[in-house]
């Protein structure tokens, strides 16, 4: 399901915006935006902004982190790679380091 949604999202973006380097740049930069939203949600969990207080839950943070992951997978696919294979290779490297 995840991988189908990633490929469908890539296809939808390709059709709407093309596949040139500028579009790829935006897809990669989108990760920064999503990571900022996750950071903002965590700040909201901690109530670190005295003007706003506690504004988010841990569930909100988890959802924002999921957005980061999904955005990264779409970016990998947009670069022409199989996101599942790339992530599996990354996980294998991590597993070898910690084993």
CATH number of the domain at 41, please. Answer: 1.10.287
Instruction: Note the pTM of the prediction, 2 decimals.
Output: 0.94
Domain count, the chain: 1
List pLDDT tens digits, range 42-93.
999 999 999 999 999 999 999 999 999 999 999 999 999 999 999 999 999 9
pLDDT digits (tens, 9 = 90+) for 2-55: 999 999 999 999 999 999 999 999 999 999 999 999 999 999 999 999 999 999
Tokens linked to 30: 């989108």
Range of the domain at 33: 2-98
């Amino acid at each position: 399901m995840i991988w189908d949604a990633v490929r469908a999202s890539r296809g939808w973006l390709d059709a709407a915006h093309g596949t040139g380097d500028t579009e790829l740049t935006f897809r990669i930069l989108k990760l920064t935006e999503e990571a900022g939203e996750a950071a903002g949600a965590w700040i909201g969990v901690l109530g670190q902004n005295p003007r706003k207080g506690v504004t988010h839950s841990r569930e909100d943070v988890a959802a924002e982190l999921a957005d980061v992951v999904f955005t990264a997978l779409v970016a990998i696919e947009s670069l022409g790679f199989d996101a599942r294979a790339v992530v599996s290779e990354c996980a294998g490297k991590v597993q070898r380091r910690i084993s």
